[in-house]
């Protein structure tokens, strides 16, 4: 899809909320708020990882457990789709500019993450950013809450429109800007990304998009699995 050129920010009115909608992950892993009127879409990889798994204690949303009524009026639940390598939700303010978008997705991990994994995970995050062309990290922060690890990065990078040859003079690419959270929560990686198709578009919509970061929610079940004190009381050794 080709993005339509955006009107310069100084010729547009400041974007305003007309309402807020809450999207709850069908598997109960998170909830995210987004502005009314923004266009939404599903994120899902093609390859399933595990059958029907979800965080223990988390409730699934009505969307993936749509009830059907049997002859005696009893509720029957449809089987959940297999957990994919990546699945989530996205929303964008303007369909003509698909590169200006907020996405949130979850991916299952092979094992539970603990606070002691911080250094190894940070090395992987840094390596991933270095793989982006002309990547410049403007702000970086790491937060550890119990066994929950959050990496926050704000950065710009260059994205090619054609074949991706950095030496192609006919394809100078465009500079995108992102704010990104990478949350390692027990056996899940949850990634939130606000991206502007340009630095200007990032700034123009930022106040609205940032509310999705500020109001992002994790379920009680996942907070429990990252609470070192509670797990210690149950005899669970999270340091190994």
> Is residue 51, in this structure, part of any structural domain at all?
no
| Verdict on whether the full-model pTM lies above 0.85 | no
Q: Which residue has the higher pLDDT, 101 or 227?
A: 101
> Is residue 221, in this structure, part of any structural domain at all?
yes
**Alpha carbons 34 and 209: distance in angstroms, whole number:** 7
Amino acid 72: pLDDT: 47
Q: Which residue has the higher pLDDT, 74 or 237?
A: 237
pLDDT in tens, 105-164: 999 998 999 999 999 999 999 999 999 999 999 999 999 999 999 999 999 999 987 655
pLDDT at residue 103 tops 80:
yes
Percent share of the chain, pLDDT over 70: 75
> Is residue 65, in this structure, part of any structural domain at all?
no
Categorize the per-residue pLDDT at 235 as very low, low, confident or very high, splitting at 50, 70 and 90. low
**Alpha carbons 157 and 131: distance in angstroms, whole number:** 10
Q: Which two tokens stand for residue 60?
A: 């699934």
Domain that holds residue 100: 17-45+76-233
> Is residue 173, in this structure, part of any structural domain at all?
yes
Cβ(194)–Cβ(202) under 8 Å? yes
> Is residue 135, in this structure, part of any structural domain at all?
yes
pLDDT in tens, 168-181: 777 788 999 999 99
Instruction: Provide the number of structural domains found in the chain.
Output: 1
- Torsion-angle region of residue 73: left (phi > 0), alpha (psi -120 to 50) or beta? left
Q: Residue 214 belongs to a domain with what CATH number?
A: 3.40.1000.10
> Is residue 56, in this structure, part of any structural domain at all?
no
């Amino acid at each position: 899809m080709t993005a339509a050129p955006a009107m310069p920010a100084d010729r547009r009115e400041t974007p305003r909320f007309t309402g807020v909608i809450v999207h709850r992950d069908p598997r109960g892993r998170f909830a995210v708020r987004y502005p009314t009127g923004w266009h939404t879409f599903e994120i899902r990889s093609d390859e399933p990882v595990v059958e029907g798994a979800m965080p223990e204690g988390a409730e699934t949303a009505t969307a993936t457990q749509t009830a059907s009524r049997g002859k005696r009026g009893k509720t029957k639940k449809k089987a959940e789709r297999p957990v994919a390598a990546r699945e989530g939700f996205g929303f964008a303010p303007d369909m003509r500019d698909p590169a200006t978008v907020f996405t949130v997705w979850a991916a299952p991990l092979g094992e539970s993450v603990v606070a002691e994994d911080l250094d190894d995970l940070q090395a992987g995050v840094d390596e991933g950013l270095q793989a982006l062309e002309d990547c410049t990290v403007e702000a970086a922060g790491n937060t550890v809450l119990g066994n929950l690890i959050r990496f926050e990065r704000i950065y710009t990078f260059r994205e090619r429109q054609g074949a991706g040859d950095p030496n192609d003079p006919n394809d100078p690419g465009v500079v995108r800007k992102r704010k990104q959270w990478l949350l390692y929560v027990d056996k899940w990686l949850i990634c939130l990304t606000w991206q502007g198709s340009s630095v200007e578009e990032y700034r123009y919509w930022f106040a609205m998009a940032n509310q999705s970061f500020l109001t992002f929610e994790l379920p009680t079940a996942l907070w429990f699995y990252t609470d070192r004190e509670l797990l210690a009381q149950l005899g669970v050794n999270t340091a190994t």
